[in-house]
Structure formats: C-alpha cells, structure tokens
Structure 1
C-alpha cells in the first residue's frame, strides 16, 4: 500500500516522549527553506533528497508556514464534509504536494553522538530525508515526531528534504471544522542527546488537601536527581517519592516550583505544580474542591498565518482569557503548540487536552465506514492518543484527557480510553461522542438546551451511568455573529446543580483570513464545497479584538458578584478556591451618568463560595436618576493583569429620576407652505411623516419591525429559522398605507396600516403628535391586525437624519451593544461614541449596535447642532450610515458603503438572539410576540452648548 494511503501511524520515529528543553545543544531549523508545489505525487520531482539536486529555481518559503497562505494553492473551509471523495483510506491522485529543502551547518561545538530531529507539526503527511537517507513518514498533523539522526549528521552542508502531502489516509482522522491548510506549520529542531542524559520524564506531583502535603515522584531513567531549591530539596533521587508541605497549584493560584532534573550529562528545568484531580460524589474536583468550568474552546488561528501561532499571539490569548474571567480551555480539536500549555501552567487555566482526532465527515453518510470501529485504523488511533499524553503529561494545567471530537463510537476509541486509564490514572477521560458514557469519566454534551441541562442536573437521566458522572457542556453558546443569547440562564443552572460543572463556549476566535479590506471565510477562495461563514464563530474577531460577546461572557462568569441586599450591598465570592483578599472594592455614584462621588468600600475577606453583606457608603444627595456602581479589582498586579483590573462589578439604583415637571400648554397644528407645522416639527400633509425638526431635515419616524438578520436568526439548529418565518411573513418588505391624517386642534393624529404584500395580516399603527414648547411628544399605538404568525424581529420606529449628525451621546445602557438575552454587560451610565463607533464590525455583517434601556440619546454635528430623543421611560436605539436592507445584503464589512444620511432606529422591543446558529433558539421569555403595544418618545432639536 502506498505510504500516503497507509491507515496506520507514521514510520521511523522514536517512541513518543514529553516536550521539554534542557542544557543539551539544540539548533532551530526554522527559517527560510526552498519550496516547490506540485499538483500531485506523480508530478513531484525525483531525487529531492540528494546533495546534488538543484533547487535554485524553487521558491522560498518560511518554516513554519502553511503554503496556501503564501500564494501556493488556496485555502478551503468545510465544517463536516470531506473536500475529497470518501473512499478510506484512499485519497485523490490530484493531491497537492509541497517539497521543502534546507541546507544547514552544525555549530562548531556540536557534539558527536545521538541527535533527534523533531517536527512539532506537519499537515497532513510528511516524508523526510536527511543527507540522502530516508528517516520516515509522519502522520498525525498536530502531534510531534522525532527521528534519530546522529549518525547522519555532518559538520557542513547537511541537506534536509521534506515532502508534504495535503491529503493522506490521516486526513480522514483530521476533519476538525477548520481551514484545510498544508505545510510544516510548527517548529523544526535538532536536539543533541548526550549519553547518560534524560531521555524522558514524568513529574507526578500530587496534593493532599487534608494534610497540605505534596508528594513528588519522577518517572524517568536511572541516576536522575531532583533539586527544588525553594523547598530546600537537593540531590534527591528522582524516582523516590518525597512528601512535604507545599502550596497547591490551581487555575486561580498557579503556584509552580522551579526545579532541576539532572544527571552528570544533562540538566532539565522543570516547573512543578502540586494538584490532584478526582471524581467524587459525581463531581469533578481538584484538591478536594468542585470546579465550575468557565471555559472556551480554542482552535489555533492567526488571520495571516493560519495555524502558525507565534508565542506572542499565544500569550495574548491567555492574557485575554484571564482578563475576561475565563478559567478553562478545551484544546479543540487537537493538542496545541506545547508552548500554549506552558502558558496555561504559568498563568492558570484548567485544560481539557484533546487528541488530534475527528471523523465528522462520516456522519452525513450514516457513519458508514467510520474509522472508529474499523480495526485497520486501531494503531493510528492509539498512536495519536499516546503521542498526546506523552507529550503533555507534565502539564499541571491539563486535568482531563479528551479522546478527540465527533468521531462517533467504536472499539478504537474504547481502546484509547483503556490505554489512557492504564498509563495515567490521575486524570479523568473525556469524549463527548460516547453518549452512553461507556468508557469515559465525564458526561459531556454539545449545545444541550437549558431544559436538557436542568434534567441532567436533577439526575432524571434514564441512564444510571450518566446520572453518576459530572456533567460538562464541552461546547455551548455558539459565538457566531451577534450572540449568543441565553448564557445567563446556563450559568444559573451550573450554580443550581452541583453535578453541572460548566462548559466551554464555542469558540475563542473567528477564523477569518486576512483579505484586502475584510476577513475571508468559506467560499471566498472559490471552494466548490464549503460551509461559508460557519468558521466565523468566536468571541474574538480574527484580529483578536474582543467582540461584544466576550464582554457579555466575562460579566456573566465574573468570579465576584455584587448586588443589592436588604441591608446594603451583597458581595458573593464565586471563585473555586481563593478568598477575596486579593481584591479592592471601590464605588462610584453617578447622577444621570455624571460622577458625583466615589470611594473605597470596606469589604471583609469573603471565603470561596460564601457571601457577605456590607452597608452602603454615605452618599450625597443627587438631583436626577442616580446609580451606585461597585467594582472589585485586583489590589496588586498579577502576571496577567495590572493592579486595578476589574474582575467583577454590580450596579444598585439609588434614586429614581425626578417627577416630570408640569407640561406647558400645547401648541396648535397649522398649515403653511404646503406643510403641517406643529411646534418645532414640520410634517407632510398627505402622509403625516415628520420632514423637519427645528432647522434639520429628517424623514420619519415610521413603524418598522425588520432587522438585518443575524447568524442566529438564520440558524437551523433549533428548527425552522426565525429569519425564514419573518421573510415568509413579509416583514422585510412592509408597506405603509395612510388611513387618515387628522390635523385639527392641538394634536396631529396619523392612522396607518403597515403590512406586507400578498398577505392579509398587518399592524395598525396610530401616531399621535403633540407639541410642548420646543419638544414634540409622539405616542405610538400598535395593534396586530389579522392572524399574525410567529414573532417579530423588533418593534419600533425608523427615521433618517442628516449625515452630519455623526456624534452620539446617550444616558442608558452601555457602553456596548445589548439585546434582551445578552445584556448583562450593559451598565447604566452616560456614554458617547461616533456613529461609526456604534457599529460592531461583524465579519459577516448583520444586526448590531443596539443600545438598550436608553433614557435619552442625542445625535449631533461638529457644531453641536442635532436632535435629541427622550424615552418615556426608556427605549433602544441604533444609528447607522446604511439602511437595514443594505446591512442585510452585505456579505463583508467593505460591502457597507456609508450614505449621506444617518439611519436611526428607536425601539420599544427587540427579539432575542439565542444560539440557533448551532444551539438552542431564543428562550420563550425573550421572544417578541406581536401584541397590542403603546409607547411614547419625545423629540427636540438641540443647539451647541
């Protein structure tokens, strides 16, 4: 069988071992290599391994890299389907093949003897030669392979040749919802291996929470000693257990002890974290404490380099996670670069380390031919699991091993679990696809509804095995586009039921690839089979700018919760381990969004899982609506955030807005110059539509129920998409019929019917305008007319104002966007943004930028002139330089071309967001059902102040 189609593991490599560094010489072979891409193996040049092969006409390519991102071929994205015929283990003959060559010299002091050539990642299959001798073949793209090369090395002119194939038998095991990209994408290193050195080691460092003792024992070779200077341990035989008082490692307190493993020939630095993982009473525990996983799934991605992720970028990820209260990572769906796990050790993140395995493309075929149950793949499955565990066994952050993802079930997976359980009984086993939990230790589900999570929490499962296991949502809260909604209700379930131990939002980052003026997604590279923007589903935009969903998630999972209590302020500590002693509590009093007083709140140290009530500070009197904001911030800098970084906050209402002053006399309606004039407003006499406010030309407001649909509105996961129902109801093309314009006396009453073409249902909308000095009051009464199906996207008004009104200021919820089921991060305050700054630049444009619970909003030009809208009491608003129809039609951010007007929406209600792009739809309490509704808004022109 050709090596490309061999379903077994690769060949020629040495046994898997831990990733580590030492004082033995090492030579990075990263850099500029020669490169040639051929359309298939048959067209690839022969003899590339030879010294005399002429590669002078080849291109240059950096290593690490993925060749499609350097102009060789094109990226392709699929979520489930294989982009080649499903004929395992065979792959097409048209198989892009990238040949890589490097000439290198050894340092002058390079020692003779054994040396290993290490490849940390080759996608998907590599055949390797050094100095004309074949070393072997790699499979398992995101796993390391090492080859013995000592006898082959020469001081000068070493020739390393690597032939990489885009497709191989291994591709059937690597269908992981990501871009199909190829190359040597992780580091290449030459490692000298001294005689009598440390070939491998496993630091077993347990912690007994009842005694405070840690026990360290190292599984390694003979004659290895362990030094831990901080614990005054020197020359201890590494293989002998040693018990002593220590501080434990947790994600909240990532205490590491620096040590040295040494022989006469080699010294290996080690970082030791003492901790014990267990499952007790149906709960996942570390050091005797139940965990609540506030996690994210993380693919490795960079918008310019794909899965080539620099150390700086990996650190940026970890710091962003910590600063947004994330405490756990699932390494979907493969082991990450080992440097990322070292960062998790250092800064503190719980990790589910997942094997490089997914066969999802067999699901549309009814799982026929799935490798998980085919014996010819058994060795490959075990090899991938073995390499995962051996590489990462020394990482205290890794608390669960995951067998892989979406590979159905089968004996090969069961054998993987058996091997892990024998090799490492100290960490439980995870695999979501084992729905019966026959060979795993954790019950895991994806995108379970809130109702299902509650049934599991109540232990109402029919399966006795599942009932006795801790439950984790390995994927939930699909962060695609605007959303997800409903995260708060998940958190409430996790806190209500001890066996429900949190989960991992899908996912950390949008996988957009940098294009000229936007980020590209599936289909943008001409792929015949693709899954569009389903790869754009992260809490971060591709450039690692946090999206609004990350702020929302951070607020929902904040480890310190502050709220109003019967006798003052309640502070609840939701950390798993630590007290609040590391935090400082401050308060700010704002009067209609303006700070009038602030101070430090005296809060005693609150133990984990407990709460305390403290009295309100002495507050000055305020004249308007006022709010007290209490924040918990780091008292001292940490490795991941500066002092003053806020980890939790809460708002308490202090005083309501004062009663409205008596209204002045109403102004009359009169006709002049072909217009109806009422106070500061002029109206079209035929339609009753406002055409100017003060000296400003406007159009509207008129009833509007449409919003540019979100990915979740269009999602099919929860059944029939809301967007389909809305379109069938014609809500995107409503037409207005004026029934009457009554302009007599002191009110302008406009009666209309707003309805879609071809359908009998509609909405009766009555507008009643009244003038009071320079203000106009608008009362809107909306009544469904006929059998109105389903839900509405939104309910409110749309109007257009001059494009010069480019600055927005408001008092209400902010600073970011908010929707009914995603509004926990919005606090009441006074905020300002440019109109452009109000937009959220979702990679796939959609409804965005809604500000909620707004008391008043002002749009102004640079000279300070503009308009103000006041709620009675509150409203939601958006302001954009394009219409909802233009936003709906756009497919990339650069499709949105600013127009000459600002389009303002003023809403009494919005439909929720949900997570139906891949998860539950909008919860019933957040669904906008047509019903009789009345609301009031006030309008006035403003001048510079």
Structure 2
C-alpha cells in the first residue's frame, strides 16, 4: 500500500506543517475578478434579540422534518426514480432541458437519492484496480435530473418548500422551466421557496442541473495534472471520494403562509429556553396564537401568546419553561424530550406546528478538561466517511444504522464527521444512543489565498460553518464544532487566523448552547490555537515521521503552552493489508497497525488529565481519487474494517479492548 501523498509532512521538533502549492497570484486574481458572494446569500440577522440564519432571503427552516409530517403540514417525499442524463457537452441549457415540455422519454431512470458514481461502475468496491478510471465514477461535468409531482389544488396560497438534504457539488434548480435557486456545497441541506412557481391542481416538473468539477485532466495517464477551482471548497483534489449527484433525500413540505421555521432549544438546570422563529411568507398581515409546549414527561407547562407579522416579516418568540421532571442527557443515559411550537388562528384552529428534540446537558472546556454535565470526559472515537461500496454517499438508513452500531460495538463514545456534515439520521442515532459527535465541514486543504478569498470575498467557509451550527443546533450529541482540516497556515499567520476567527464568530453567534470550537490542524504549533476552545490536531508519529513515543513529548509541550485548553487528537492511524499478518515492526501488517494504535492510545491515557481524547483514522477503508493507491482501486486501507464492512482487522479488537479510564 502506497503512502498517502498528502501526508508527506515535514516533522519539526514541536509539530508538523503541511504546505500546498497554489496557482500564481495573478491567475488567481484574474479568475476571481468580479465574483460575487456564494449563491445562497447566507447571512445571520438579529431578530428580536436572537440570531437567525437566512439563505435566499428567508430564514433557513428545520430539516428535522425530513421523515415526519408535522401537524398542519403536508410532507411529500420525492425520493424514487428520476429521469437522468449526462451533459458532457454542456448543451442542456441551450436545448432547455429544464423546460416543462422537454421530452425526456429517452433519458435513463435512476434512483434519487443516489450517487452517479455507482450508476455504471463495475466493481466499484473492489480492491482490484485493473479497471480504475473507467465507468460513471469518473464522469465529471454536468448532468441533469428531472421528475414531476402533482400539486394539490388546496396548495394555492400555501408556503411550498422544496428541500434537498444533499447535492454534490453545485445545483441549479428549475420549477416548470423557471430557475429558482442555485446551491453550492455538496453536504449541506438547503431549502427553496417554490410557492410562486407551483401550479396547484396540475403536474409540475422539477429539473436539477448538477455539476462536479474534474479533479485531474486524466485518471489513467502516467501524468495527472490537478484541476482546481478557486471558488470551490475543497478547491483541489483531497483525500476522499467526491460522490456526485442528488446524493440525499428530496422532499416537499407545504405549510400555511405563516409558519414555524425553526425551534431553538437550550436545556440546563431543569429549565428549557425556547426561541421559536416565526415567518410570514404571505401577502397580508397575520395575527396568530403561538403555543409552545414541552412534552408531558418533562413536567413543563405550555406557554401561549399572540404574535402579529407583516408580509415577509420574521419574529422570534422566546420563553423559558420549568421542566422539573426532565433528566440529564448523558452517554450512558441519553434522555431525549420534545417541545412543540404550534400556530393557531383566532378560531383556535391549528394551522402549523414544528417539534424539536432536545436533551438537557452541558458541555464546556476549561482548566484543561472537556466536561460533560460538569464531569471530565475522555473521547475514544473514530473518524469515518459516509459511504458504502453499494450506495456511495447515498447510504440507506439500514446502512447508516449498521455502521453506527459498529461504532458502539467498538466501545467508542465519539465520532468525528470528517470532513463534512452528515445525513440527519446520523445525528438522530447519536442522540438516541449517547454517541458524542464532532461535526465538521468541507474546509479541507485550503491554501492561504483561498482562506483570504473565502474570508473577504466569497464567504462559503463562513456559510458552511453557519449552516452546520444552525442545522444541528438542538442535537445534544453534538459537543464540538470543527472548522477545518489540515489547511495551510502560511508564512504570515494573519490570513489564516482571520479565516478561523471569521468562522468561529458565525458559530458563536448562532449556537445558544456555546459548544466548544476546534479544528483538525496540520500542526501541533498552530498559531491560531489561542482561538480554539479545544486544541485539535492530526498526528502520524511512527508512520510518516518520527517515532510513536514522540507523541507524548509533543503533547506535553502543547499542554505547557496552553495549560487551560484540553487537547484532542483529531486523527491518528496507519494502514495494513487485510489478512497480512506478521511482525509488529513490519509496516503493512495487521500487527504493526494494531501496535501503533496501542502506543498512541496509551500515551493519551497517561495524560488524561489534560486530554480531550483520541480519534482513530479510520472506521473503515475509504475511497479517494488522488494519484496514489490506483492499484487498489483508489481504496485507502487505513480502516478498522474493510471497505465492504465485512472484514475486521486485528486493530478492531485492539481498539475495542482499549479501556477508557474515565468511563
């Protein structure tokens, strides 16, 4: 197994550095001249003293409704067979493939959600790389999806939202031939108001144009030149597979014009603080009664009040409710509760409602410790990628459940969602099973020019950070916000620090629970660590540089510099070929991989007084498109288990048996 080239790291005495090349600055400037900000127009507005996330000029709604129909609402799943066609010549716009009347009878039928990489790629999950570079997994550029739905006649004058849980990488959405929105970012849900484009009582056509950038000019040639886009995140090839298409669920949600967009919760000390975001998407002033009611087993009582909104107005209704019977949410006792905000007219008729799930817990980082409900915890966790050999990044609920149960079987208490947001089910599972989560976004391997561009011009890094926080704001399992992975620090750290600070500000503005912020630094001497609540860095001592035992020395030095900040190893691991047994001193054997893990874990445990924890790379072997491991079909064998999830390496049992001294 070849070593991953991105880990060709220069080890220094107190840390490590990754450098990345960039286009010449004049080319960069020319490419981005006159570019506006990211297409969602993401912004944080203060409404009635509460910070609310807006995209496309409207408050971002809750996506927790992806699989449940709230009272007063109509939910229509659009998952299933869609018409699909590749557009290698980018002729779809010219020939109006988005038109309602376009004849798509000759198009293929494909599953949505689905990753087009799996549409026609033989042996995608095989370790045999003889066919690497062939099939739909290597199709880049444009492709189109089309479907139709019958709009009920009673939808007239209703608020109709079209919600996507994930489209990679860029999407243009059309309703009945009209472009309604553009979205960028492959792993972030988005919602589009299509009310004015829908024809009630008739068949309506949705067309989605999807684009994935090619990562190389060839996938099979001896020389492969990177293809970059300075506006995208990530802007160059990175160490995971960029599954393309409408990769997650799509659904319609129809509500009354005045709706509850979001319910924000903070539950501590048997008090529930609720902020209900109310939006009038109608054309006239409306007065409604709002009822905020925690479920009965909390011991809390409902709060009612009247709210009036002008057309297009957003208001936030806030209240604090005693919940004397609520029990704490914890890893061993993950108590979950619900609170519902409902709207009624003056006749008392219910018109809309939205339920939020919450857990009563605290999380903080102070005095060198990460604390859950006031007690120190040590994270024993794994990184993982949301993919399977059968479904790509469009995993079924059964597939997600199987892998997350494997994490529990490992006696792990923590997952890092490297390096992007997950399907909503992942957070639901973690909430119910007491599994702690570090959520993450797509900021991987940005260089200094990118960081400056994102901070001062395009704003996609900040938009991703804000969306992550807003969408997962109520999940008690989410205890850490991750901002970036192994991005360039540069000779002048000012740009890097400004980029980090900009994202952290967005997170802190939105997160009423004030969770700790961290990131997976490429360096143990990151010059922005003073901005972190928890110090996080990736390390590969004994593999790519130094010796295993160098980790302890490095941790001691970092702790001396930042004695009040707990330290989290966000990545560490090695590789082995499944079934290759031998001497633990020989690279590539399962024994070597297991021994390396044991050495690192023991050094963490020895320093448990100031460690937040350790995260193994990786739960499972994973696919990537970079220029190494072609002979293994692009699969990196750094997992506890094989890519198909069936083969457990020796390190699986070694990890499972490793005792957590704080549990």
TM-score normalised by length of structure 2: 0.72
Indicate the residue corresponding to 1:179 in structure 2: 241
Is contact 2:363–2:371 with CA below 8 Å preserved after alignment?
yes
- How far apart are 1:137 and its partner, in Å? 0.8
SS of the aligned residue for 1:486 comes to helix
Is contact 2:416–2:438 with CA below 8 Å preserved after alignment?
yes
1:314 aligns with 2:376: no
Gap runs ≥5 in structure 2: 1-29, 42-55, 127-138, 214-228, 279-289, 305-316, 345-350, 490-495, 542-547, 578-589
1:416 pairs with 489, 503, 522, which one? 503
Higher strand share: 1
Is contact 1:328–1:351 with CA below 8 Å preserved after alignment?
yes
SS of the aligned residue for 2:232 comes to helix
- How far apart are 1:51 and its partner, in Å? 1.8
In 1: Cα distance, 2:634 partner to 2:167 partner? 26
1:251 aligns with 2:326: no
Gap runs ≥5 in structure 1: 78-93, 207-212, 513-520, 560-573, 577-945
1:370 pairs with 444, 450, 462, which one? 450
- How far apart are 1:510 and its partner, in Å? 1.7
1:232 pairs with 287, 290, 299, which one? 299
Is contact 1:479–1:505 with CA below 8 Å preserved after alignment?
no
In 2: Cα distance, 1:328 partner to 1:4 partner? 43
1:472 aligns with 2:568: yes
Indicate the residue corresponding to 1:128 in structure 2: 173
Indicate the residue corresponding to 1:451 in structure 2: 549
1:486 aligns with 2:596: yes
1:495 aligns with 2:631: no
SS of the aligned residue for 1:370 comes to helix
In 1: Cα distance, 2:379 partner to 2:411 partner? 11
In 2: Cα distance, 1:42 partner to 1:539 partner? 45
1:545 aligns with 2:640: no
Q: Judging changes above 3 Å, is the alpha-carbon distance between structure 1 residues 252 and 370 closer, same or farther for their aligned structure 2 residues? A: same
- How far apart are 1:10 and its partner, in Å? 2.1
Is contact 1:510–1:537 with CA below 8 Å preserved after alignment?
yes
Is contact 1:478–1:505 with CA below 8 Å preserved after alignment?
no
1:202 aligns with 2:246: no
Q: Judging changes above 3 Å, is the alpha-carbon distance between structure 1 residues 4 and 230 closer, same or farther for their aligned structure 2 residues? A: farther
Q: Judging changes above 3 Å, is the alpha-carbon distance between structure 1 residues 182 and 555 closer, same or farther for their aligned structure 2 residues? A: closer
Indicate the residue corresponding to 1:18 in structure 2: 62
SS of the aligned residue for 1:197 comes to strand
Indicate the residue corresponding to 2:545 in structure 1: none
In 2: Cα distance, 1:322 partner to 1:95 partner? 37
- How far apart are 1:471 and its partner, in Å? 0.6
1:442 aligns with 2:488: no
Is contact 2:338–2:358 with CA below 8 Å preserved after alignment?
yes
- How far apart are 1:134 and its partner, in Å? 0.8
1:484-517 residue CA offsets vs partner (Å, 9 max, x unmatched): 42323333323222112321111111236xxxxx
In 1: Cα distance, 2:84 partner to 2:35 partner? 25
Q: Judging changes above 3 Å, is the alpha-carbon distance between structure 1 residues 320 and 260 closer, same or farther for their aligned structure 2 residues? A: same
Indicate the residue corresponding to 2:283 in structure 1: none
- How far apart are 1:103 and its partner, in Å? 1.7
1:117-146 residue CA offsets vs partner (Å, 9 max, x unmatched): 111111111111101211111101100111
- How far apart are 1:420 and its partner, in Å? 1.4
SS of the aligned residue for 2:504 comes to helix
Q: Which has the higher contact order (CA 8 A, sep 6+)?
A: 2
1:301 pairs with 382, 387, 390, which one? 387
1:508 pairs with 595, 604, 619, which one? 619
SS of the aligned residue for 1:313 comes to helix
1:138 aligns with 2:183: yes
Is contact 1:127–1:136 with CA below 8 Å preserved after alignment?
yes
Mapping of residues 841-856 of structure 1, within 5 Å: none
In 2: Cα distance, 1:528 partner to 1:53 partner? 43
Is contact 2:622–2:635 with CA below 8 Å preserved after alignment?
no
Indicate the residue corresponding to 2:427 in structure 1: 341
Q: Judging changes above 3 Å, is the alpha-carbon distance between structure 1 residues 100 and 343 closer, same or farther for their aligned structure 2 residues? A: same
In 2: Cα distance, 1:20 partner to 1:66 partner? 22
Is contact 2:176–2:204 with CA below 8 Å preserved after alignment?
yes
Higher helix share: 2
In 1: Cα distance, 2:616 partner to 2:271 partner? 35
Indicate the residue corresponding to 1:857 in structure 2: none
Is contact 1:283–1:469 with CA below 8 Å preserved after alignment?
yes
- What is the aligned length? 523
Is contact 2:293–2:339 with CA below 8 Å preserved after alignment?
yes
SS of the aligned residue for 2:474 comes to coil
TM-score normalised by length of structure 1: 0.52
- How far apart are 1:315 and its partner, in Å? 1.1
Q: Judging changes above 3 Å, is the alpha-carbon distance between structure 1 residues 378 and 250 closer, same or farther for their aligned structure 2 residues? A: farther
In 1: Cα distance, 2:87 partner to 2:123 partner? 14
Indicate the residue corresponding to 2:637 in structure 1: 536
- How far apart are 1:373 and its partner, in Å? 5.5
Structure whose CA Rg is larger: 1
SS of the aligned residue for 2:469 comes to helix
Mapping of residues 71-220 of structure 1, within 5 Å: 71=120, 96-107=141-152, 110=155, 112-154=157-199, 155-167=201-213, 169-173=231-235, 175-206=237-268, 213-220=269-276
Mapping of residues 249-648 of structure 1, within 5 Å: 249-264=329-344, 265-358=351-444, 360=445, 367=447, 369-372=449-452, 375=455, 377-409=457-489, 410=496, 411-424=498-511, 426-433=514-521, 435-436=526-527, 437-449=529-541, 450-457=548-555, 459-461=556-558, 464=561, 466-481=562-577, 482=590, 483-497=593-607, 498-511=609-622, 533=634, 535-549=636-650, 551-558=652-659, 574=661, 576=663
Is contact 2:455–2:461 with CA below 8 Å preserved after alignment?
no
SS of the aligned residue for 1:57 comes to coil
